Structures are given as structure tokens and as C-alpha cells.
Amino acid sequence: MTQLSLLHSLSPFSSLSRFSITPPPRFSLPSFSIRAMTSHIVGYPRIGPKRELKFALESFWEGKSSAEELKQVAADLRFSIWKQMAEVGIKYIPSNTFSYYDHVLDTTAMLGAVPPRYGWNGGEIGFDVYFSMARGNASVPAMEMTKWFDTNYHYIVPELGPNVKFSYASHKAVEEYKEAKALGLDTVPVLIGPLSYLLLSKPAKGVDKSFSLLSLVEKIVPIYKEVVAELKAAGARWIQFDEPSLVLDLEALQLQTFTNAYSELESSFSGVNILIETYFADVPIQTYKAVTSLKNVAGFGFDLVRGTRTLNFLKSGFPSDKYLFAGVVDGRNIWANDLAASLCILQVLEGIVGKDKVVVSTSCSLLHTAVDLVNETKLDKEIKSWLAFAAQKVVEVNALARALVGQKDQAFFASNATSHASRRSSPRVRNENVQRAVVALKDSDHRRATSISARLAAQQKKLNLPILPTTTIGSFPQTIGLRKVRREYKAKKITEYDYVNAMKEEISKVVKLQEELGIDVLVHGEPERNDMVEYFGEQLSGFAFTVNGWVQSYGSRCVKPPIIYGDVSRPRAMTVFWSSTAQSMTRRPMKGMLTGPVTILNWSFVRNDQNRHETCYQIALAIRDEVEDLERAGINIIQIDEAALREGLPLRKSEQPFYLEWAVQSFRITNCGVKNTTQIHTHMCYSNFNDIINAIINMDADVITIENSRSDEKLLSVFHEGVKYEAGIGPGVYDIHSPRIPSTEELADRINKMLAVLDNRVLWINPDCGLKTRKYSEVEPALRNMVAAAKLIRTQLASSN
């Protein structure tokens, strides 16, 4: 079978059942795979092409299916993934990249680093403890969740301290290796390396700030040794240690910790090949030298897509006895690889490191891409020809590996060249009017004309809000019935009239509920929206959409990023009708809800044929048109969410100022022309904001709502340090990603902690994030308690004056 026919026909998931009970057969490798000795995949999406894992997880959490049924779905998915890679001809197939929730949490389980509040008493960690750490339970909150480097994936942050008693408590890596081996597949088990694990962790509550998490390396290395020993005993020939933290600007102590850890592990590496894998950026030159000087390590993996300087580092020297795992196929975007260009790079690398030492790989795990293009039967054919999802990228990797050893598939390469030529010449990609509008932006910094204090005074005079005003972030629960109405309307099974009436009825219900709860600033609940980015992209030019292009965000939460293939503009108003309808139902202020340009950019698959900031400016102009229409329609509070602004921050400090400059300017472009009395809100999701607080201030929003509760009020520490923030701010008072309902007393305590560092005249009271994923049975009591807590504190403040 040619690579071209594989690309178009291979879909290993076609027979995947939801709760299969038939064990998969032992797998026989195809004959051509023996010759394709130089291909490797860093990792693969775990959710399934049609979100099979999501549905299995949620069924288990709701008590509708058993643990054994969940495990069977997981086993089916793993088998299908391994089978696909083997059939294509991949030599180094990863295992232990599957996870029921998060791979960092899996490592926490492996090391037995369970916080005491979960009541774990030793032994193999099971689902009860594992999912309690991830999601919380009725009595204790979940562990903190934050962004995985500069991606939209969220990981569960380990909580560590000097008293953690590490132990080998999850044998998942070994079990999955054995599972694959029983199927006839020799895989490469993947572990998060000790340095990255410690740098991704945080001090547990109550741990002295002077305590160095890096000092724990001597406690966790022995467990890594146990894991390596078990994998060797099981027959593993390669083990992959993922150390993405190596691409950061490491301090001397951090780099020394890495060197010390692997020196200590060196004795256990005898008899097995070790791969140190890095991704998401260049490895700094000093780190590069330290990494490539490691003994008893067989290979090093580098990102040659985002790591634009890596090739020069390799030219300066690479150990002659090591393998180079060359990440030339982009693991973070969905555009087809330029095979001819990649092959040229690989041939240059062969000249540097030796003919038999180059292994063709992905730039990072394919976790960050959609699963399989074969499932996209409705996607525009021209645009589809420009794309490659995870399954297709596996084929691209092996095609390049085969070409490198003289087995080039001429038809496959020719087809690839044709698709690239089609994209370059397509008239649907460029819009001269949009290009000119972006050029015209460069003459202004797009700030509002008056100061924040003057605007807030004018807004308060008009809105007359109480101190500690309450609000929510935007969305309300999306019920099964609501999703059914949207689905039927999209399929043209109901009329537009019926659809609009159904949405109005839902909006009315949400408005009445908020009024009954006593919330001060209302939202319409966003019943018409499938996703905060996709909804807008569907109404903007230059966007394309998939049916099954799902990507995991966290746990069972998946998103379907739009594809930005061309210049962006707004043909017509997008939200004005719904916001105006909602405002007509109440005398309280109704927020107009928009997604900001930086978030639309960062949560989309972005075109790679022009600079990202140029595309962001185009989106900003489109959102500006919508803001001005909302204001004209009488909407006095407009929220422009920038949930992903921090997410796009480059990992290297030298590249961050330029990103923050154009990202902040893009936000200001959207609202620089509104009146003083129009209040501009923004919202940001789970991330560490303290290091970009000046950029947040520079956004010049009137009010910002931000994640806080799940991170132990970590955000508030920046205000302890004397940062002057004059705008309104709403640090979330409870975590919406957990089903747990906080009490009024707990919420009042959190508000008091905020008032210790924030003036009551600027503090807003709100949840952490939108309520879309929660049930009304959780939302109503949580919001009721939130409003009660705000009223309690207002009374206390009034009596103290």
C-alpha cells in the first residue's frame, strides 16, 4: 500500500465500540515496517476520534457504567492507536501517553505524591483517589489546574513539600508496555522526566516559601529507578523521558538539578536505550550542551518546527554516538507538512550527525492536534487537501523516514506539493481590504481617551452598582435539550422561528434565575453558542470548521478549534440580537459577551503563511465592529474575554515583550472607541498571571475577572507585593470545574482574604469561569451561596464604617 492510499483510507478506529468486551487479537507487523527504521511519534491524542474517552469517563462519573467498562474503552483506544502506527510503519511507537485525565497527574500517582486531604493510605492508586485529585469530591476540592506550557491543554499541578512520602504507587507505565507487548508490539514507554515534574509542581499549602522543590529530586529519583528496572525486566528496549522544561530559560541550579538527576539515574540505564525528548521551543545553547553531554543516553529529541535555532546548534556539534530524533512534523497545527522542505532539512541533519543516526519524528506530542481527517466528510474539499490531523501526520513522518532511506513515495510527495501550491494560489486566502486595514492600524496605540478612574466614576454614575457587585462569567449550563435544539436547527430539522423562540425561552429562564438569586450584573447565558471561539469563527470570514476535529483541553473536556485559513473580517453583526433581547427582559445591566482576538487566535488552528500578530490584528478589527454595534444597541457593559492571553506567551523571555505588545494592542483595538460610560470587562482563565501583571494593567480594561480559587489565592500575592491596580477586579471565589458546592461561610472567607489586599470599591464577586459544563443542580446553590456571601460582607463593611 502506498503512503498516499494510507493517508486517505487508514482509520484504525472504525470498529471501535463504546463498551467492547472482545479482547483485541495479537498484531502482526506489515512487511514494509521492517525497512522503515527511522520513524518516531512523541505522543498521540488519547480522547478517540469521536471523543470515545470523554463519553466513557462521563458515563462512569455519573454511575451509568462500571470501572471495568471504562477500562475496556481505554484498552480499545490504546490498541487502535498502536495498531494504526504499526500499520503505517512507525518503528518507535509510544506507550504510556494515554491517560484517563492528565499525564502529569499520572506521574503524581506513579510517585505516590497524593496530598493528605484525599485520605490515601498507600497501595496502588485507584480511580477514587485519582479522580478526587483531578475533580475534587463532596468533601475536598480538586488540585490546582493550569496551562501546559503555552498550549490550551491543562494539567493538574502537583503539590509537594518536605514531608511528602514518595512511593511507587502506580504501575501504569509498565502495565501499558506489557499490554502492547502482549499484542505483539514493542513500544517506547514515555515518562515525564524528574526535572520537568518538579518545575511543574508547586509548594503544598503551608510549606515555607524558602523551601526548594528541586531538593526533592533525591527522593523521586529512586522511584524512577524502580520504574526503569521494571520496564527493563518487562523487555523495554527504549524509554522516553519527556523534559519539555529544558526549553525554558533555566537558572544554574535548575540545570544542575537536571544533570544531577540523570547522573544518578545513569546506573539504571544500563541495558536500555534512553531518549531525552524536548519540545515547544529551542533548547537554549547552554542547556543544549549540558543535555547532549549526558552519558548512557542513546538519543535526544528536538523540536525543529518551533525551535528555529536548533539546526544551528546541531551544526555546532552533536555527539557522534547518539541518535537525533528530529521533530520536523508539526505536532501543534493541522497544516500538511511541506515534505520536500522537511526532507531537505533531514538530509542536512544526516550530514551533521551521520546517515543512520537521524530518526524522523513529530515536533511534540500529537495530543494538541485533531485526531483523524478521515472523519471530516463535510469539510470543504480544497481546504481539506491542505490539512493533516494526527493520523495523517503519522503517515507523513513515515513517508519522510522512508524517503530518507531511499524509499521515496513519488506519488505521495507529488500530491503534497500540489496541495501546497493550491493553498499558495487560492483567491480565498487573501482579502486586500483587510490587509490595508491592518496596515492603517500602525499609526496609533489605540488607548481610550480618558483615565481608568474617570471612566469608572462615569460608569458608576450610570450603573449605580453596590459595592462588591456580583456577576457570572458568561455561560450557563448547556442542557441536553438545549444542545438538541441547536443540533436540530443546524440539521434544518426545525425552522429558524422555532429555534429563535427556543433560545429566547432559555434566555428568559436564565435572566429570571439571576434576578431571583439577586445577581447584580446579568448575562444571557449564551444558549445559542456551541463554543466561545467556534461561535464567532462561524460568523467571520477566513474560518473553516470541522465535525470531529476535537482536541483535549482537560479530563473529559474537549474543544473543536476553528481553522483560520485566510484573512479575517466580519460580514455582519454576530451577538447584538441576543444581547439586546436579553437586555429587554430586565432592568439590571446585561453584559454583551464577546471573545477577544488573542483568545480566538490562540484557541484556533492558525494559518502559518503569515505572522500570527497580523492575523490577530485582523480579528481585533472584526471584534471592534461588534463592540461598536453593541454599544449603539444600548449595551452598557461589554465583556471581551481574553482567556488565552497568558497561554500564548512565548516560553523564552527574550520573545515575550514583543508578544505582549501586540497581544495587548489587539485587545485595545477592540474597544478604544467606546464612550466613558461603557464598561469594558475581560476574563482570563487558569494560568499564572503574576509575571504579566503589568501587561494586564496595560490592557486598560475597566474590570477584569480572573481565576483564583483553585490556586489557593496565588493571584492575590501580586497585590501583597504592592502592585497598584486601579481597575475593577473579580478574582474567582469558587471553582466551577469541580462539582463541589462551596458554603456561604467558605465564600465569605475567600472574599475577606481578597479584601485584605484589594479595595472594596474595586472588588467584584464572581465564579472562576463560565458555567457551561456544570448542572443547574450545582449552579443554583453555588450562586445562591455566592450572593449570600457578598451580602454578608457588605453588611459587615457597612457596620464597620
Residues at the binding site for Zn(2+) are 683, 685, 707, 769
615 — alpha (psi -120 to 50), left (phi > 0) or beta? alpha
Residue 680 to residues 337, 583, 630, 688: CA-CA distances in angstroms? 41, 17, 12, 23
Q: Is the dihedral of CA 784, 785, 788, 793 positive or negative?
A: negative
Q: Which three cell numbers stand for residue 117?
A: 486531604
Give CA separation, 760 vs 468, 564, 704, 790, 796, in Å. Answer: 6, 42, 15, 11, 12
Count of H helices and E strands in the chain?
28, 21
Residues 6+ apart with CB under 8 A from 104: 148, 155, 156, 157, 158, 192, 197, 200
Integer Cα distance of 35 and 732 in angstroms: 56
Polymer length in residues for the chain: 801
- Neighbouring residues of 582: CB distance < 8 A, sequence distance ≥ 6: 507, 511, 522, 523, 524, 590
What does the block give as the cell for 256?
544542575
Residue 67: CB atoms within 10 A of its CB come to 11
Distance CA 309, CA 363 (A): 14
Distance from C-alpha of 542 to C-alpha of 537, rounded to nearest angstrom: 8
Longest dimension (CA), the chain: 83
DSSP per-residue letters across 637-675: EEEEE-TTTGGGS-SSGGGHHHHHHHHHHHHHHHHTTS-
- Contact, 700 vs 725, CB < 8 A? no
DSSP 128: H
Question: Which residue, among 622, 576, 573, 577, has the nearest Cα to 597 in the 3D structure?
Answer: 622
Catalytic residue among 40, 154, 613, 737: 737
Active site residue 368: no
C-alpha 174/C-alpha 386 separation (Å) is: 39
Bind-site residues: 54, 152, 473-475, 526, 557-558, 603, 641, 683, 685, 707, 769
Could you give the 3-state DSSP secondary structure of residue 203? Answer: strand
Look-up of cell digits 521515496: 408
> Taking the alpha carbons of 368, 369, 370, 372 in that order, is the dihedral positive or negative?
negative
Of 738, 597, 583, 563, the closest CA to residue 669 belongs to 597
Active site residues: 737
